[in-house]
């Protein structure tokens, strides 16, 4: 059987058959349960935000990755379209995570006006429908609020009702939020309320990050963050790490030049999260990231 060009490229990158037959840790790459979602994910997920190349997404899937992260706001929705195109025909074999925006008018505070709530939840509904079309699916595995920073807003009754309704009719399988800042408070709130299924937060060996595109930065107390992650996971909430390479490269355990493979290896060794979404923009990065798990 003739292999696709992307399969041949990945075979060269990982040094084996892209089907996973030569994967060092077994006949197939191992997956892990993502909290209580019922979803199983390969621990290193493909963050699609930095590529518009379907062949790269296909190559990652052929190399054994089954968790793909995108968002409605990435490239004005075109990133979702690219992911949908790339994963056509694989839908039942992969886990797709996307995001929508939740924005109230400035000054709305913790108790927004009913009209503002109706507007926002209406926008969320339209965003979900657009994501379903772009991703060429009738159900998104995981839908997150993008960059949530206010625990009260994320857990507002109307917001929770929106997600519960979307899950009830089968348009999503799991719901949650990502948080680029105030993540410790957001995790604690998630554990306390115990509504959301998945939370995605910055986590890396440095305890800080600087976003290479936007310049946005943040830092956290590593012990506090890990404790909050633990509280969430104890409640069955799946926790996904992001900004995994934004803390910079890390020296390998045996010494040598710092690299990003070792940065991801640190996260895997700590065992604090269920998985990670790592932005990948080329085949070299796929190779480096997969090497952390082989």
Q: Which residues are known catalytic residues?
A: 74
Contact 57, 89 (CB under 8 A): no
The three-state (H, E, C) secondary structure of 171-225, written as one string: CEEEEEEECCCCHHHHHHHHHHHCCCCEEEEECCCCCEEECCCCCCEEECCHHHH
Contact 69, 48 (CB under 8 A): yes
Buried b (16+ CB within 10 A) or exposed e, 65-94: bbbbbbbbbbbebebbbbbbebbeeeeeeb
The DSSP result for 36-92, as a single string, is TS--EE-SEEEEGGG---HHHHHHHHHTT--EEE--TTGGGGHHHHHHHHHTTT-GG
Structure tokens at 68: 């793909």
- List, in order, residues 6 or more apart from 194 with CB less than 8 Å away: 235, 236, 237
- How many other CB atoms are there within 10 angstroms of residue 254's CB atom? 6
Contact 13, 287 (CB under 8 A): yes
- List, in order, residues 6 or more apart from 228 with CB less than 8 Å away: 183, 184, 187, 188, 191
**Rounded Cα distance, 5 and 283, in Å:** 12
């Amino acid at each position: 059987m003739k292999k696709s060009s992307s399969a041949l490229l990945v075979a060269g990158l990982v040094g084996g058959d892209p089907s996973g037959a030569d994967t060092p840790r077994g006949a197939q790459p191992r997956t892990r349960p993502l909290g209580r979602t019922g979803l199983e994910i390969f621990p290193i997920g493909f963050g699609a935000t930095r590529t518009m190349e379907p062949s790269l997404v296909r190559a990652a899937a052929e190399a054994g990755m089954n968790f793909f992260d995108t968002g409605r706001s990435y490239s004005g929705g075109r990133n979702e379209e690219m992911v949908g195109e790339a994963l056509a025909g694989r839908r039942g074999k992969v886990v797709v995570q996307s995001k929508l925006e939740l924005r109230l008018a400035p000054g709305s505070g913790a108790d927004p006006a009913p009209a503002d709530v109706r507007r926002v939840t209406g926008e969320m509904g339209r965003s979900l429908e657009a994501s379903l079309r772009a991703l060429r699916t009738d159900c998104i595995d995981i839908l997150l609020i993008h960059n949530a920073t206010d625990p009260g807003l994320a857990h507002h009754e109307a917001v929770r009702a929106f997600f519960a309704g979307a899950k009830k009719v089968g348009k999503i399988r799991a719901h949650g939020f990502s948080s680029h800042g105030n993540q410790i408070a957001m995790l604690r709130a998630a554990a306390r309320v115990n509504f959301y299924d998945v939370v995605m937060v910055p986590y890396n060996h440095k305890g800080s990050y600087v976003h290479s595109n936007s310049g946005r930065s943040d830092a956290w107390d590593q012990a506090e963050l890990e404790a909050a992650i633990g509280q969430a996971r104890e409640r069955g909430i799946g926790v996904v790490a992001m900004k995994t390479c934004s803390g910079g490269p890390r020296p390998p355990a045996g010494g040598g030049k710092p690299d990003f493979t070792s940065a991801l290896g640190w996260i895997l060794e700590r065992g604090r999260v269920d998985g990670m979404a790592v932005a990948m923009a080329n085949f070299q990065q796929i190779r480096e990231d997969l090497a952390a798990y082989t």
